[in-house]
Chains A and B, each alone.
Chain A
């Protein structure tokens, strides 16, 4: 129980810290982005919607209020889910824009992360079982090379090969223009087809951390006494590999979840931008280009909260499947 309470407290504290960080960043840097933006909007001779100013005031603060009041208003606003008006996508609210983009990224990252874990763990298991064999050497060498390739570079090469040269997959976008968005079969098929190439790019690097982690831990578990006992009992190789070696090696790897997910989210930002994929990464890039600070802030907050939540769930799961952590408190 102590374990779960600790993790819940840590989760709530990190949520609060992320929100506070999001509040502080625009305010510690010199200059005054809020004022500059308000000036720019007013100066550009466009019709100014007072709600635009309100949005900027909410996210960045306008210096007439004391800092503590700003912070209080900010916390209240994010709890109510109010992030103001995006001024590059006027008249849409920031929440609306994020709501449009979020499902795309959630599905893309969710699926590739789970697949990476499954594939990486299997390959790692096989490499550890046949340690120092041909498969192991190839996988270890290939992993250390492919792991160094930048996501955006892989994406560029893949687009060239599979979209322009061979035309197997579309070169970008989330779905084709002919289908209507919604829960219909044609749309889902089109979206799935468009997501293959971006997902493949993530899957080149994605499993590598899991492969190496699994291989190294399982090499250790295979040397343990209980594995030797299993052999002595005459159990089948299959049973020794999966129930004794792999099963005990998976657990320590789950703790690598946060770092791996962070890497995946980072990769998605590049991939979405290159593929013009309608998710959070693409939206973040647009917000950056348009200097749409309220939108950028909200995206940063959503991505961070998403990663924190996923990590929290992984921690909870870890506590459920490994009784040792429950008893020993923080490992």
Chain B
């Protein structure tokens, strides 16, 4: 499922010689952002992904104004099939499905941004410390990274969410964030190990630069594309995880998301009554949003690996 997707996308960026290439690229302009965006945009898949993501973000931001009805309003006749008033029909409680679909984009994108950021930050801190400091600390942190990699994530998330005294979207975001950092940490650790052996780092050490300066000013900029790719991968995984948790009913029951929509559709027998318009759109939207992010990552990978570029 989508948990794997982010990890696969991240894996592609684990090129051993990635640092030096990026470094060459970055040197002419001190701040690499314009060239960066240009490379991503030049990749056809990434361009498609950016446009698609843009559409979802647009709906997510403007859902309150664009949605024809209030997604929680249950004043309408339940179990309607698509008609001119309700484009995708209505739920068992008489809510408009099309409006719910728009609001669902909001939940997915918010969870992607926040849970992705949380797991990226945890992974970055743990991976960089393990890689830079080395020794016993590296052994201990690597053990935790490997442990978190092999423990099956979904049951862990379910148990964590089930015990949480507060149920809400924040709980879901935190649970996803604290369970999904391991892959990023591993990638960043190995990148750190290759980068810290470089001559220019040795030079900075001899020049008497402080450790924070070396880590944040000398090494971090060379990991930017890796961090960005890792972040997009983590956000992708988080969006899939939120939908899954919501479907299992361990998420926030009051939030409208594509996962809860499918949960209700499944529980109220939308399959038996043949309410296709209730089941198909949330699944397709999830798949499209995840595809968009995966495609953007193809472009991000091209930043660090010139072989993947399309000129």
Contact = CB atoms under 8 A, between A and B. Distances in A.
Partners in one complex: yes
B246 to A, nearest CB: 10
A151 interface: yes
Interface stretch (B4-12, B59-67, B110-118): B4-12
Top 4 nearest A-B pairs (CB, nearest first) are A266-B154, A153-B283, A148-B290, A262-B152
B224 interface: no
A263 B241 CA distance: 11
A25 B163 contact: yes
Contacts of A304: 151-152, 155-156
Given A153-B286, A297-B159, A262 B1 contact: no
Interface in A255-294: 258-263, 265-267, 269-270, 273-274, 284-285, 288-289, 293
Contact of B266 (A26, A156, A289): A156
A191 B243 CA distance: 30
Contact of B149 (A164, A258, A263): A258
A12 to B, nearest CB: 12
A250 interface: no
B165 interface: yes
Given A10-B146, A263-B3, A149 B287 contact: yes
Contacts of A25: 159-160, 163
A33 B163 contact: yes
A163 B164 CA distance: 37
Contacts of B288: 148
Contacts of A26: 163
B291 A144 contact: yes
Interface residues of A, number: 59
B277 interface: no
Nearest to B279: A156
Given A153-B283, A258-B150, A300-B159, 15 more contacts: A10-B146, A31-B165, A147-B4, A148-B294, A150-B287, A156-B271, A160-B279, A259-B7, A261-B152, A262-B154, A263-B4, A266-B3, A266-B153, A297-B159, A303-B152
Contact of B164 (A29, A307, A308): A29
B159 A307 contact: no
A93 B164 CA distance: 25
B247 A270 contact: yes
A10 B149 CA distance: 13
Nearest to B163: A29
B143 interface: yes
Contacts of A179: none
B287 A205 contact: no
Contacts of A147: 2, 4-5, 8
B248 A145 contact: no
Interface string B249-288: 1100000000000100110000110100001101100111
Contacts of A33: 163
Contacts of A288: 158, 162, 248-250
Interface of B: 1-5, 7-8, 12, 143, 146-147, 149-156, 158-160, 162-165, 183, 240, 243-244, 247-250, 262, 265-266, 271-272, 274, 279-280, 282-283, 286-288, 290-291, 294-295
Contact of A303 (B4, B155, B250): B155
Contacts of A53: none
A216 B9 CA distance: 12
Contacts of A267: 1
A274 B183 CA distance: 29
Interface in A3-24: 10, 13-14, 17-18, 21
A209 B9 CA distance: 11
Given A265-B155, A300-B156, A145 B291 contact: yes
29 contacts: A13-B147, A14-B151, A21-B151, A33-B163, A147-B4, A147-B5, A148-B291, A148-B294, A149-B287, A150-B243, A150-B287, A151-B244, A152-B247, A152-B262, A153-B283, A157-B279, A205-B1, A262-B152, A262-B154, A263-B1, A263-B4, A266-B153, A269-B155, A270-B248, A288-B248, A289-B249, A300-B156, A303-B152, A311-B150
